Structure 1
């Protein structure tokens, strides 16, 4: 079968090549991939910035398709069903945090950027009926991350003011749509006026250009402050988030693309009773609740562009350059 694999000896660090198919294990299923989606971890792997890398690994965490084969200990009822795959593996039984054995599909085990993928059968869920293949493939990793950050970690309730930073990326677009569906008063930040306008078209009240030195004052003037802030950048923008967070508010970080903050305003945190929380992808419970929420509110992921496997380098470069608005999807 054809697959997009990591090869750090090549200039582009990835290659589309033929790989040998593996036997289906007793508790596994073989899924014929109809569509797969990129995440930043795929690009970080290409840059050599992700742990446990090995050349030859098939990249990709997000995928949707049709079950072709089922192992001896798996119900044959799965065969022929349209499914999406939960890429969160071995979370464990503690809803509070992942186990020591936790991993994400795609690294170090082979992922979804292939014509077929082997996954544990307990990672399967029926594809939400209102989503097409591209939309379904765009949902799992980023949708799960956003759902856990917003509802389990931040505890969002109706009417709260929410700021989602970096709108345009996968997690941010889901956090925005989820918060709007939950009847929060939602605002976004972005460096792109077009992305801010897209957020407004979805129901966001306003957006702020975080490159503008006056954005904090603008946000305070328009929104008055935020009860919940969802952020994936961290870095030195952390201090600005603290300035616009309401007393008793919560800031949840699901990533740190901007690196670690060079300073920490501890006085503002303790005096304003702020809650600073970290979050990762999510548990099996989070995934089930996310699917129910998406189906109930008929939420559709924003798909930026769809590429063929032959166009993989172009797709990866688009993610590298931050040009996407929504998820980048690839099809075999």
Structure 2
């Protein structure tokens, strides 16, 4: 089968190659991938910035397709079914935190940027009927991460004022859409006026350009402060977030792309009774609840661009530039 694998000996660090299909075993099913979507972790693997990477691994965590084969007759009910894949593996028994064996599809094990992927049957779910292949492929990782941050870690309530930072990326896009669907008053930040305009078209109340050094003061004056902030940057931006969150509010971050902060306004955190909460992807329970939520509210993922498998390098380069609005999808 054709697949995109990590190969750090090439100029692009990835290559389209042929991989032999293994024999199915245990409770595995074979999914013929119709579409897959990129996440930042795929580009970080290409750049050598992700832990435990190794050449020859098929990249990609998100995917949707049709079950083509199964390991034994007891799984025949899945044959021919249209499915999406939960890329979170081995979460463990504790809903509060992932276990030591937790992995994500696509590194260190083979992922979805291929014509076929073999996964355990408990990783597949019926594709939402209202979604096309590209939308379905875009949902799993970003949707799960956003759902856990909003609904599990921060217990979002209807009517709360929510700020989602860095609008444009997959998780931030889903966080904004999910918060809107849940009845929140949603604001976003971005460095792109075009992305802010796109957010307003989705129903966002207002967007703030974080390149403006006065954005935090403007946001505080405009809103009176946020009940909840969803962030993936951290770094020295944390003090702006501490400034604009209401007393008793929550800041949930699912990444730290700007690294650790060099300064931290600890006094304001304890005096204002703030909660700063870390979050990752999510448990199997979170995934099922996220999927139910998406189906109930008929939420369509925002698609940035669609590439062919042979154009994977272009897709990765677009991810690297960070100019996308929504998910970058590869059609198989």
What TM-score does the superposition give when structure 1 sets the normalisation length? 0.99
After TM superposition, give the deviation of residue 73 of structure 1 in Å. Answer: 7.0
Q: CA deviation at 1:263?
A: 1.0
Counterpart for residue 318 of structure 1: 318
Tell me which residue corresponds to 2:248. Answer: 248
The Cα of 1:331 is off from its aligned counterpart by 1.2
Map 1:221-240 → 2, pairs under 5 A? 221-240=221-240
How far did residue 74 of structure 1 move?
4.6
In structure 2, the residue matched to 1:132 is 132
| 1:206 matched residue in structure 2 | 206
Query: In structure 2, what is the Cα distance between the partners aligned to 1:25 and 1:142?
Result: 29
Gaps of 5+ in 2: none
Q: What secondary structure sits across from 2:98 in the alignment?
A: coil
| Equivalent residues in 2 for 1:1-332, closer than 5 Å | 1-72=1-72, 74-332=74-332
**1:200-232: per-residue Cα shift (whole Å, max 9, x none)?**
111110000011000011101111110000001
Q: Distance in 2 between matches of 1:28 and 1:233?
A: 37
Q: Is the contact between residue 26 and residue 73 of structure 1 (CA under 8 Å) also seen in structure 2?
A: no
Could you list the runs of 4 or more consecutive aligned residues of structure 1 that deviate by over 2 angstroms after TM superposition? none
| Shift of residue 72, structure 1, vs aligned partner | 2.1
CA distance in 2: counterparts of 1:184 and 1:124, whole angstroms: 30
Distance 1:215 1:126 in 2: 43
Q: Deviations over 1:47-97 (max 9, x none)?
A: 001111110000000000000111127521001000000000000121101
Q: In structure 1, how many angstroms separate the alpha carbons of the residues matched to 2:313 and 2:210?
A: 29
Whole-angstrom distance in 2 between the partners of 1:57 and 1:73: 29
User: CA RMSD of the aligned region, Å?
Assistant: 0.7
Deviations 1:293-315 (A, max 9, x none): 00000000000000001111110
Q: Is the Cα–Cα contact under 8 Å of residues 28 and 74 in structure 1 kept in the other structure?
A: no
SS in 1 for 2:296: helix
Q: Distance in 2 between matches of 1:74 and 1:296?
A: 30
What is the CA deviation profile of residues 157-178 of structure 1, one whole-angstrom value per residue up to 9, with x for unaligned ones? Answer: 0000000000000000000000
Structure 1 residues 106-131: Cα deviation after superposition (integer angstroms, max 9, x where no partner): 00000000000011110010001110
**SS at 1:75 equivalent:** helix
Aligned residues, how many? 332
After alignment, is 171-180 or 71-80 more displaced?
A: 71-80
- TM-score normalised to structure 2 length: 0.99
User: More deviation in 93-102 or 31-40?
Assistant: 93-102
Query: Using the alignment, how far apart are the partners of 1:81 and 1:278 within structure 2?
Result: 36
Q: Using the TM superposition, give the Cα deviation of residue 264 of structure 1 relative to its aligned residue in structure 2, in angstroms.
A: 1.3
1:25: Cα distance to partner?
1.2
